[in-house]
Chains A and B, each alone.
Chain A
Amino acid sequence: MTQNGQYNFAYLDEQTKRMIRRAILKGLAVPGYQVPFASREMPMPYGWGTGGVQVSAACLTADDTFKVIDQGADDTTNAVSIRKFFERTADVAVTERTSDASVIQTRHRIPEEPLSEDQILVYQVPIPEPLRFLEPRETETRKMHALEEYGLMHVKLYEDIARHGNIATSYAYPVKVEGRYVMDPSPIPKFDNPKMEMAAIQLFGAGREQRIYALPPYTQVVSLDFEDHPFDPSKADHLCALCGAEHTYLDEVIVDDDGTRMYVCSDTDYCATRRAEGHTGTMGTPFTEDAA
């Protein structure tokens, strides 16, 4: 057992980490299946990533390099506090560079840079049950998963088209894993859905709902749709104002009181890397270390 000041390595005690690892292994064995686990009280409020933090804690080893992103950014409150938390309790190396990290905890985004086989992506999940808003009974949704009764998921998409003319669900877009379980990909934009068939291991932790689920590398992940309304991984139809990228997911930022807006890459690390390589957008300045 590794001791580090007052805390055990990565905050949780070894028995708890073992329990979480068991849930993770089961999740990997049954891709998309929600494994119940005994979620612990963490020193942060529910909704801040207690599930993701527990999964990260169970995965981290002393020689890991850890990265946290929140809405694609490394420097937002949530990302900074979780990164600090593991710096203090596990004393692991941290980084903002996607390619340098071995464990990446994320909220609401998948990094733009493709991940590799030696990386783990940990998602924070608020509500793991994709059927929840249509069927409030847990007993019933579990039965629906067990019997593969997923017609209801399409009712939600039907409602979208009936009301908005197209599938208006733009985040937490339901996916079917390996032709079996329907899964909530956590509130990532649907733009990121196609990226989920990736080389890295993907783990999903929902602390308040006490569920862990997982996708092994190269798992088939299909976004649900209708034959005449196919899935469309849309994004804002603009270029990044800082780095000029046309293939990344963009945030819309209002910059003055007249409603002028700029679109910038939501993945800050990816944007900075591009600018360091010399790409410049319409509102961007040439890259310098402190301008980032």
Chain B
Amino acid sequence: MTPLLQVKDIAKFYGNRIGCTDVSFDLYPGEVMGIVGESGSGKSTLLNCLAGHLAPDAGQVFFDTREAGLKDTVTMSEPERRMLGRTDWAFVHQHARDGLRMGVSAGGNVGERLMAVGARHYGDIRAQAVDWLDRVEISEDRVDDRPSAFSGGMQQRLQIARNLVTGPRLVFMDEPTGGLDVSVQARLLDLLRGLVRQMGLSAIIVTHDLAVVRLLADRLMVMKDGNVVETGLTDQVLDDPQHGYTQLLVSSVLQV
């Protein structure tokens, strides 16, 4: 089986400081990979390198494109990469405001990706927008409201709808539940798990919340100071951490 995403020795430096270095892994279709680590451990840098938002200083990122099979997204042309960014890839930001157009209605936000790939029929675009709002549990009568009128949890769900409307195969998520209260978080996770399973999505989830990866991720990668210190199946890493830092991380989770 060809991996959907193949990462080889990715490194990114900020001057003399290390963003992330020597990261390699394969992600197979339908697999969800979690990246955990403390603040400043390079997980967001890594995610941005993979998603093409940052240019890595070394390494390759091969993506299994629909036309040409495995292709290095670091060296591919910018139009191609941006095309991937609005068709096969999706990026869910930590702050919904970064991923939404706050001045545009919910329907317009969801429809933007459709229009970006050439949809020119208002009725169809709107029907799809309503359908997707329904899937993320936003009622139809909010379709013409702006995201600024939505609660934080709704904004995050809207962002997810907006990203998934074109049927991407790979979703990058940067702390998707950050800043949400626990009950909203639980519903969002439930929703995400449902969508990921139902659509057969592959996903890379960056988070510092171990409960999130426990629920969503098949595999886990633990990062510290820009390096990957441990990888493995999620339950294995969380239940039997080998590396000292992972042990610290697991034991630091507060118990209720």
Contacts and interface: CB of A to CB of B under 8 A. Distances in A.
Interface of A: 134, 147, 149, 151-152, 154-155, 158-159, 161-163, 226-229
B122 A158 contact: yes
A151 B119 CA distance: 9
Contacts of B111: 155, 158
Interface string B104-123: 11011001110111101111
A148 to B, nearest CB: 8
B122 A159 contact: no
Q: Which of A152, A159, A163, A227 has most B Cβ within 10 Å? A: A159
A35 B103 CA distance: 29
Given A155-B115, A158-B107, A159-B104, 6 more contacts: A147-B79, A151-B112, A158-B125, A158-B126, A162-B105, A227-B122
Contacts of B126: 158, 162
Given A152-B112, A158-B115, A228-B121, A147 B78 contact: yes
21 contacts: A134-B104, A147-B78, A149-B82, A151-B112, A151-B115, A152-B112, A154-B115, A155-B104, A155-B108, A155-B115, A158-B108, A158-B122, A158-B125, A159-B104, A159-B108, A161-B122, A162-B126, A226-B121, A228-B121, A228-B123, A229-B122
A151 B104 CA distance: 14
A150 B79 CA distance: 13
Contacts of A228: 121-123
B184 to A, nearest CB: 27
Contact of A149 (B107, B116, B122, B123): B116
Contacts of B123: 228
A158 B120 CA distance: 10
Interface in B98-150: 101, 103-105, 107-108, 111-113, 115-118, 120-123, 125-126, 143-144
Contacts of B108: 155, 158-159, 162
Nearest to A226: B122
Contacts of B143: 162
Interface in B64-105: 78-79, 82, 86, 101, 103-105
A158 B78 CA distance: 27
A1 B4 CA distance: 67
Contacts of B86: 151
* Chain B facing A: main interface SS: helix
A229 B115 CA distance: 14
A272 to B, nearest CB: 42
- 8 smallest CB-CB distances across A and B, nearest first, come from A151-B116, A151-B115, A226-B122, A154-B115, A227-B121, A147-B79, A158-B108, A159-B108
Nearest to A144: B82
A166 to B, nearest CB: 10
Nearest to B116: A151
A226 B108 CA distance: 14
A149 B82 CA distance: 9
Contacts of A147: 78-79, 82
A159 B120 CA distance: 13
B150 to A, nearest CB: 16
A17 to B, nearest CB: 37
A250 B104 CA distance: 32
A151 B143 CA distance: 19
Contacts of B105: 159, 162-163
Given A155-B101, A155-B112, A162 B144 contact: yes
A169 to B, nearest CB: 14
Contacts of A159: 104-105, 108
A160 to B, nearest CB: 10
Contacts of A229: 122
Contacts of B118: 151
A226 B118 CA distance: 11
Contacts of A227: 120-122
A198 to B, nearest CB: 26
Contact of B116 (A152, A162, A163): A152
Nearest to B144: A162
Interface in B50-71: none
Nearest to A148: B79
A227 B126 CA distance: 13
A214 to B, nearest CB: 25
Contacts of A158: 107-108, 111, 115, 122, 125-126
Q: Which of A149, A154, A228 has most B Cβ within 10 Å? A: A154
A151 B117 contact: yes
A162 B112 CA distance: 13
A123 B79 CA distance: 33
Contacts of A155: 101, 104, 108, 111-112, 115
